Amino acid sequence: MEALKRADDFRGPKGPVVLVIMDGVGIGKYVEGDMVLAANTPNLNWLKEHAVAGQLKAHGKAVGMPSDEDMGNSEIGHNAIGCGRVFDQGASLVSKAIESRSLFEGETWKMLVKNCLEHQSALHFLGLFSDGNVHSHIDHLEAMLKEAKAAGVKKARVHLLLDGRDVPPTSALEYVDRFEAFLKDLNADGTVDFVVASGGGRMKITMDRYEADWSMVKLGWEIHVKGEGRLFASARAAIEAHRAENPGVLDQDLPPFVIARDGKPVGAMADNDSVIFYNFRGDRAIEISRAFEEDAFDKFDRGARPNVLFAGMMQYDGDLKIPKNFLVPPPGIDRTMGEYLAMSGVRQLAVSETQKFGHVTYFFNGNRSGKFNEKLEDYIEVPSDRIAFEFRPWMKAGEVTDKVLQGIERKRNKYGFIRVNFANGDMVGHTGVCPAVRIAVESVDLCLGRIMKAVKAAEGILVVSADHGNADDMYEHNKKTGEVSLDSVTGEPKTKTSHSLNPVPVCVYDPSGKANLRLTAKTDLGISSLAATCIKLLGFEPPADYDPSVVDVG
């Protein structure tokens, strides 16, 4: 790998190139429920009219998902933005590994099954329970359970993390009923005992990320591993009880539960059990993996840790080797923009609040922990508030902007490239609270205006885009007619909390005009083109195999 070559037609701006990623801010298909359109966004509107502007794909095959029916997400979106090309992502890799049987023929699967057969122990499956295909897919879980039975495993326990975030917000029972019927068929011949053992909402237990709230992981450990919690006869009974006690609660926020027989938990983990965390996406899988694997663990008191054989669906952190055992190799992302810029002597700054800090660092760098060059890179994390996002939809956007402005105005050892993520459109969008989502989008736009002024003063260039849509599609719509779907009880529009399949905006603003920018004639581009765009604006020639730049210069 060599340093980037300087371009002949444009040598870069006097100030920095600033990449603003408005997380979850797409271009809506429908007026109804489009909180980006409903929001007051004078700065984004100005850029769309006066800067070089267009749109980019941010879902499906354009970001490495199996089909164009699959939504994009922040992890794969930042992968694509940072590496400038499209790699098959977790959903595709796992599906192909199951279809080809390479997953079941691999050493890790064989080791997990052998452990159960030798000790007559249980095989546990823990993960996000839906077909959202963002962190996991129920089809993968069912395929592994079928194979486990065929391999001779007699006892399997499934620990459900209820979604309502990448799928409709109160759809849990649809998945539970389907799955219970599936388990009934597996158990019908009396040779196996495969049952649901525990569960809870994904934003309540287990799936914390970036060490924002280890208490979630602690609660998950108590529920899944120790079998300590409120007991129910079935997952359906637990969900119905929690909904009755807290009307309007979304699946992602449902309290945890433990399934019991004769007053005893059916799925507390024991020595010599095997455990698979079947999420393929890494950010919300790392902490629970650490709890299972680390000997010197100090994040919470695990109590007596059972001696289990643990594996992840994928390796969630290749540098830190988390987890040690995994079923499917992760995408081999290399030669990212950040590495090229470091090799080329460009000083870089990455800024976000906690909720998306790993995205502008780890995922942007191709699932790589740490920096490429300690002297040339600075990463700033603004701690997120521990409060429901709908209650503070502005989140830490102002503080994040303060850090970006300091980076733009820096005189000594000034930055050549600055990247920033504003988490609001995504994190507040997932709540389904539309007034809060509108405020979230307006907060980002307010910060965008501050950055625009700073970039102009520094004679830099601003690139504004997103990793996927969300706030632009807050209502469920009939796929055939486009009409808003109404709640049968309230008559109000059904809110949507998942990502959209919509394109995202891209605006390139050169206030000095020296770059002589124009939109490329190439069409059908995805967000992976942002890497070549930024490299070109910095005055370099993008790597030949990078997806083409959104703009031409010179």
Q: What is the DSSP pairing of strand 377-382 with strand 348-353?
A: parallel
Question: Given 67, 74, 121, 344, which residue is catalytic?
Answer: 74
Q: Residue 30 has which token pair?
A: 């429908």
What does the alpha-carbon distance between residue 82 and residue 365 come to, in Å, rounded to a whole number? 6
What is the DSSP annotation of 321-334?
A: TBSS-EEEPPP---
Alpha carbon distances (Å) from 24 to 136, 232, 285, 435: 20, 37, 21, 16
- Catalytic, 215? Answer no
What does the alpha-carbon distance between residue 342 and residue 513 come to, in Å, rounded to a whole number? 27
444 sits in which H/E element: helix 434-458
What does the alpha-carbon distance between residue 511 and residue 456 come to, in Å, rounded to a whole number? 5
Dihedral sign from CA coordinates of 237, 240, 243, 247: negative
What does the alpha-carbon distance between residue 48 and residue 464 come to, in Å, rounded to a whole number? 10
What is the Cα Rg of the chain in Å?
Answer: 24
Q: What is the DSSP pairing of strand 155-162 with strand 123-129?
A: parallel
- Are the beta carbons of 168 and 220 closer than 8 angstroms? no
- Are the beta carbons of 279 and 331 closer than 8 angstroms? no
The closest alpha carbon to 123, from 218, 192, 200, belongs to: 192
In one-letter notation, the amino acid at residue 313 is M
- Are the beta carbons of 469 and 26 closer than 8 angstroms? yes
Helix (H, G, I), strand (E, B), or coil: what is residue 227? coil
Residues 6+ apart with CB under 8 A from 146: 186
- Number of alpha carbons in the 13 Å side-chain half-sphere of residue 138: 20
CA angle 314, 316, 318 (to 5 degrees): 105
The closest alpha carbon to 24, from 360, 465, 386, belongs to: 465
The closest alpha carbon to 274, from 151, 99, 134, 90, belongs to: 151
Q: Residue 230 has which token pair?
A: 């409120």
In one-letter notation, the amino acid at residue 219 is L
What residues pair up with 22 in beta bridges, in sequence order? 422
**Enzyme catalytic residues:** 74
